[in-house]
Structure 1
Amino acid sequence: MVLVTETQDKRIRWGIISTGHIAGVFARDLALLPDEAELAAVASRTQDKADAFAAEHGFARSYGSYAELAADDAIDAVYIATPHNDHVGSARMCLEAGKSVLVEKPLTTSAADTESLIGLARERGLFLMEALWTRTNPLLRKAVEVAHSGELGPIRHLDVSFGFRFSGPDDHRLIDPAQAGGAIWDLGVYPTHLSNVFLGEPTDLVGFGHRTHTGVDSHAAATLRFAADGDRPEITASLLASLEIDPTNRATVFCEQGKIELDSVVKPESITVVRGTGGDAEREEIVTQLLGGGYTLQAQEVMLGVRSGKLESPLVPWADSLAVARTLDRWLETVTDEVPAKPAGSATSGSGRSDFAQSASDRSGSER
C-alpha cells in the first residue's frame, strides 16, 4: 500500500523519545543528513535531561514527557530508544498521534504485542519499522544475495553468536526484569534476525538457557531446523546470546561449496566469501565504510518510506519482525525457570569489561 504524503519534497522532522546512549548515537547520525533530516524535538522523563540533550545535539524543542512530544504536530517520525518494557506503550502513543515510528529492537517483547502494533500502524496508515539496523547494512544484503544465488551451493548451516560478559548493577536495564532485561531480548534478537534474513522462520527450535540472580535469562543457546522445501535441503542453525561470556560475535553461513563469513553480527564492515572447500578454496573479502555510527542507513530507510507513503520497509518488513518475535518467544520458553542465588560481587562493575559491556553500562537507568 502506497499513500501520497506531504513530506515527499521536504526534510523529515524527527523526534526522539529517550535521552540515553543509543538516542545520542542516533541523533549524531541524523545530524550527518542535514538535507534529509531535521532535528525537531526530543523528550525525556525530566525536562532537565531533555534540555541538556537538545542543547548537545541541536534539537529545536525539548519536552519533559513523552506525551508532549507525541502531541507535537510539527514531527513526522519518532525514534523510540527507551528500554524494552516501554516500546509498546510509547509506539502506540505516537502512532495514535499520527506519527511514523522507528522502534529500537526488539520491536516489542512478545509476538502478540508485535502483531498488535503492526495492526495499529496498518489501521492508521503510518510507517512502522523495527530498528534492526544491521538489516539495512549493504554488506549484509550482499551476503544474502550471494547465499541465495546458488553459486556456493545450497545453504546447510548458519552459526551466529552475540554477547559479552556483563558485570553491572542489578538495576541496569540488561538484567532488570522490570525493564524487560535479558540476553535473548537484548542480544538474541540479532542472531534471530540474521537467521530470518537468510533462512526465514524455523520449523523447529530446541534451546537451553538459564537465568541470573535477578530472574532474567543471562545465557541461552538454540538449535533451529528449517525443513526441506522443494529443491532446498534441510538447514540447521545455531544461535548463542550471552551476558556471561565473550563469544566471537561473528556469523558464518555454511554452504555445500563454500561459506560466507561476517566479521560482526551487529555492524559488519567486511564479509568474506569463501568459494570451494579445503585447500583449494578461494577467499574474497568485501568491505564497506559506514557513515557515522552506522545508523544513517536505517534513518534513510525510514525517511524513504515516509516520503513515499509506504507503511513498511522491504529491508525490515513487518512479516519478518513478527516471525522473529515468534522465534524469540519460542526460545524464551526453553530457558529454565530456576533462579540462582546472587553470586558474590555480582553487582560491582569490574575493570575487565569489554568496550561493548562498558557502553552497555553507560545506558543504565530508565532510558537507553
Structure 2
Amino acid sequence: MTSNDQRRIGWGILSTGHMATVIAQDLALLSDEAALVAVGSRELSKAEDFAATYGVPAAYGSYAELAADPAVDVVYIASPHNDHYPSAKLCLEAGKSVLVEKPLTVTDAEAEELVALAQDRDLFLMEALWSRTNPLLRKAAELVGSGELGPVKHVAASFGFAFDGDDSHRLLNPDLAGGAILDLGVYPVHGVNLFLGEPDAVLGYGSLASTGVDAHAAAVLSYPATDQRPAATATVLCTLETTPPTRLEVFCTGGRVVIDFFIKPESIEVFRGTGHDVEPEVMITQLPGLGYTFQLQEVNRALRAGENESPLVPWADTLATMRTLSRWRTAVEAAAAADRES
C-alpha cells in the first residue's frame, strides 16, 4: 500500500481458534477502514465454518493459500506459540504484512529473524501486544516519561490464574510452547519495559508443571543508573497455579501510578505525592468491542502511512522483551533443576 491509499485494509486471519474469533468481531467494528477478506486453516472445513460465521468471502485449507490471496494486505497470526515463527515467515515471504499474536516467537533468534525479514522486505510486522495500544497505558507512559512524578524507582506487575485444565491443553503442552512465562509473563515484562526498558539482570524463580513447562514464575529485574534516571528495580509474576491481581504499579520518587487489569485497563489511578493520605486522580476510557480495536486501528494507520513498524509496539521493545522472557525461563528451569537435585 502507498501512504496516500485510502481504500479499506484487507485482513486475513491465519488459524481459527479463540483469538481468531475475537479479532474477527472487533474488525467488524472497523468496517469503514478495514475488511476481513480471507481466513486460512490447515483444515478446510474449519476455515469454511469460520467464514460462514463471520461473513468472510474466502476460506482456504492451507496457510500458503491464504498468504497468496491478492486481496489480503495483512495477516493476523492466531495459531499456537510454536507456529508463530513459521507462519509469520511464510506470510512475510509471500509479501504480506503481519500482526503476530504474542509472544512474537518462542526464541530470541526467531524474533530477530522475523524482524530482519520484515525490514529487508519493507513489510509491516508487529507483535499483538494489545495492552500497549490502550490509550490509558499510553497515557501512563507519557505521564511517567514526562518526569512529573519524579524518576521511576520500581515497577511491579503480575498476571495469572489458577488453571485446572488437562495437561494436553496448549498452556501446559511443551510441544505447543506452553508455560506461564510465554503465555502470561509477556504482559508483565512488556509492561515493565514500557517504563524502564530492558533489564541489566534477571533473577528468576518458580516451579514446573508435570509436563515440564513453567507453571509459576517470579523474577526480580534490575536497572543500572543512566544519564536519564537513577538505578531502579522491577518485579514480575505470572502463574497458572493461583490468581494474583492483574495489576501494574509504577513507583516514582514523587508519586505513583496504579493500573488494575493492566492488560485491558478501563481506568488508572495517579497519585501525585507520596503521603498515605494522597487522593488519586482517576483517568478512564471506553473500550469498543472486546478491546482489540485500538491494536487493529494502529495496524491500519501504520499500513496507510507506509510504516513497517509501530511506535507503540516497536521492534526494539519486542526483541528486548523476548530476551528477558528467555532469561526468565532459563532461570526458572535452572532453579527447578537445582530443587530436584537437592
Q: How does 1:141-220 map to 2 (within 5 A)?
A: 141-220=138-217
CA distances 1:231-273 after superposition (whole Å, capped 9, x unpaired): 5111100000100010011111011121100011210111000
Tell me whether 69-78 or 83-92 shows the greater mean CA deviation.
Answer: 69-78
Contact map agreement 2:137 2:262 (CA 8 A) in 1: no
Contact map agreement 2:85 2:114 (CA 8 A) in 1: yes
Q: How does 1:24-103 map to 2 (within 5 A)?
A: 24-103=21-100
Contact map agreement 1:77 1:99 (CA 8 A) in 2: yes
Per-residue deviation at 1:73?
1.5
Contact map agreement 1:258 1:281 (CA 8 A) in 2: no
Name the residue aligned to 2:285.
288
Letter in 1 for 2:208: R
Within the candidate set 298, 318, 338, 1:301 is matched to 298
Structure 1 pair 75–320 and aligned structure 2 pair: CA distance change class (3 A):
same
Give the TM-score normalised by structure 2: 0.96
Mapped partners of 1:20, 1:94: distance in 2: 19
Question: What secondary structure is seen at the aligned counterpart in 1 of 2:280?
Answer: strand
Per-residue deviation at 1:279?
3.6
Name the residue aligned to 1:266.
263
Name the residue aligned to 2:9.
12
Letter in 2 for 1:53: F
Question: What secondary structure is seen at the aligned counterpart in 1 of 2:304?
Answer: helix
Contact map agreement 1:212 1:339 (CA 8 A) in 2: no
Per-residue deviation at 1:281?
1.2
Mapped partners of 1:39, 1:333: distance in 2: 39
Mapped partners of 1:339, 1:256: distance in 2: 36
Contact map agreement 2:3 2:303 (CA 8 A) in 1: no
Within the candidate set 219, 234, 238, 1:237 is matched to 234
Question: What secondary structure is seen at the aligned counterpart in 1 of 2:110?
Answer: helix
Mapped partners of 1:105, 1:8: distance in 2: 28
Question: What secondary structure is seen at the aligned counterpart in 2 of 1:119?
Answer: helix
Per-residue deviation at 1:225?
0.5
Mapped partners of 1:239, 1:281: distance in 2: 26
CA distances 1:48-74 after superposition (whole Å, capped 9, x unpaired): 111111111111111111111011121
Structure 1 pair 82–65 and aligned structure 2 pair: CA distance change class (3 A):
same
Letter in 2 for 1:82: S
Mapped partners of 2:277, 2:336: distance in 1: 50
Letter in 1 for 2:101: E
Structure 1 pair 231–325 and aligned structure 2 pair: CA distance change class (3 A):
closer
Mapped partners of 2:147, 2:299: distance in 1: 31
Question: What secondary structure is seen at the aligned counterpart in 1 of 2:198?
Answer: coil
Aligned residues: 337
Question: What secondary structure is seen at the aligned counterpart in 1 of 2:218?
Answer: strand
Structure 1 pair 49–339 and aligned structure 2 pair: CA distance change class (3 A):
farther
Name the residue aligned to 1:322.
319
Letter in 2 for 1:275: R
Mapped partners of 2:16, 2:206: distance in 1: 32
Name the residue aligned to 1:313.
310
Mapped partners of 1:214, 1:265: distance in 2: 29
**Stretches of structure 2 lacking an aligned partner (at least 5 in a row):** 338-342
**Stretches of structure 1 lacking an aligned partner (at least 5 in a row):** 341-368
Name the residue aligned to 2:134.
137
CA distances 1:333-353 after superposition (whole Å, capped 9, x unpaired): 11135879xxxxxxxxxxxxx
Mapped partners of 2:46, 2:324: distance in 1: 36
CA distances 1:173-212 after superposition (whole Å, capped 9, x unpaired): 1000000000000000000001111110011111101210
Structure 1 pair 285–47 and aligned structure 2 pair: CA distance change class (3 A):
same
Contact map agreement 1:157 1:237 (CA 8 A) in 2: yes
Structure 1 runs of 4+ off > 6 angstroms?
none
Name the residue aligned to 1:364.
none
Name the residue aligned to 1:254.
251
Per-residue deviation at 1:39?
1.2
Give the TM-score normalised by structure 1: 0.89
Name the residue aligned to 1:105.
102
